Amino acid sequence: MALDLDSPQEARRVLDALPGLRWAKVGPMLLLAGGWDLVAELKGRGIRVFLDLKWHDIPHAVAGAVAAAARLGVDLVTVHALGGEEMVRAAVAARGKTRVAGVTVLTSHSAASLAAALGRPTVELAGEVERLARMLLAAGVDAVVTSPEEIGVVRSVAGPDTWIVVPGIRPPFAEVGDQRRTATPEAAVAAGATHLVVGRPIVRAKDPRKVYQGLCDAIG
Ligand code: C5P
């Protein structure tokens, strides 16, 4: 679950409602609002920490960040594929027992918005994700992050042990918001996702426990 909340109090309210939660994803929003103490509190609650800071920097800086996260006991971190193969290799070499996930193309991108960002007339999203996934896997990542639309493409180039982490999950009742490539939890699991990332549909729900339980039931 993505704890994209702007205060530790809000995060605790959601966490208290979800006693069986196994993973929490912490991004810059909550890290800066709650500090490292809140992340340590997650570990104290027996929850695995997915630190999603999507590092994209020079290899030395990213390796240092990954090593620091590993020392703090973080379970999973993210790096951006667009940081390049040397950066991803440096992250993998520094990871210790922490897993490294490589982000391919953000779920909030459409083909048109990615083409605009890259300054190209068009891009073929699945081809772009496949190219980046091959590079990430060659560099040794443990997991690939992609939208529901490219799960099959990623699995076709990944071994059976690679995690495929999929944001952009929207149950039918949920608002799409800024996401552009989305699917229901059932569809994402059927396509081969190993880990789903769900934020606003749970944390903004009136009854987060009910939505979380519904999602768990839907994917068995
Ligand atoms: O609220 P929502 O369910 O859209 O949250 C999705 C989460 O997944 C956000 O925390 C976002 O940072 C993250 N994410 C994403 N697309 C990616 C990688 C991560 O939406 N490609």
- pLDDT at position 152: 97
Confidence band of 153 (pLDDT split at 50, 70, 90): very high
Confidence class for position 212, pLDDT limits 50, 70, 90: very high
CA–CA separation, 155 vs 163, rounded Å?
9
- Ligand 1: distance of its center to the CA of 157 in Å? 23
Region 142-157: what's the mean pLDDT?
97
Which pLDDT value is given to residue 68? 98
14: which residues sit within 8 A by CB, 6+ positions away? 1, 3, 5, 202, 203, 208
User: Ligand 1 centre and the CA of 189: distance in Å?
Assistant: 17
* Residue 168, phi-psi category: left (phi > 0), alpha (psi -120 to 50), beta (remainder): left
CB 164, CB 194: distance < 8 Å? yes
Percentage of the residues of the chain whose pLDDT score is greater than 70 = 100
Please name the helix (run of DSSP H) or strand (run of DSSP E) that holds residue 122, with its range, or none: none
Please answer whether residues 171 and 185 qualify as being in contact, where contact means their C-beta atoms are separated by less than 8 angstroms. Answer: yes
Atom of ligand 1 nearest to the CA of 179: 4
Which residue has 């059927």 as its token pair?
A: 190
Amino acid at 122: T
206 given a catalytic annotation: no
Average pLDDT, stretch 73-82?
Answer: 98
Would the pLDDT of 220 be above 90? no
170 C-alpha to ligand 1 centroid (Å): 11
Three-state secondary structure call for residue 100: strand
State if residue 103 touches ligand 1 by the CB under 6 angstroms criterion. yes
Residue 126, pLDDT score: 97
The position carrying tokens 């699917």 is: 183
204 CB under 6 A from ligand 1?
no
Q: List alpha helices for 52-207, DSSP H.
A: 59-71, 85-93, 111-118, 125-138, 151-157, 185-191, 200-203
Of 26, 88, 19, 83, give the one whose Cα is nearest residue 51. Answer: 26
Asked whether 114 lines ligand 1 (CB < 6 A), one says: no
Closest ligand 1 atom to 198 CA? 3
Please list, in sequence order, all residues whose beta carbon lies within 8 angstroms of the beta carbon of residue 75, skipping any fewer than 6 positions away.
23, 48, 49, 50, 98, 99
d(CA 107, CA 167) in angstroms, rounded, equals: 7
Phi, psi values for residue 130, rounded to 5°? -60, -45
Residues 113-142 have pLDDT tens digits of 999 999 999 999 999 999 999 999 999 999
Cα 131 to Cα 64, 82, 154, 156: the distances in Å are 26, 11, 9, 12
CB of 167 closer than 6 A to ligand 1?
Answer: yes
The active-site residue, picked from 25, 54, 97, 210, is 54
Write the pLDDT tens digit of every residue in 162-192.
Answer: 999 999 999 998 999 999 999 999 999 999 9
Strands 163-166, 143-145: pairing is parallel
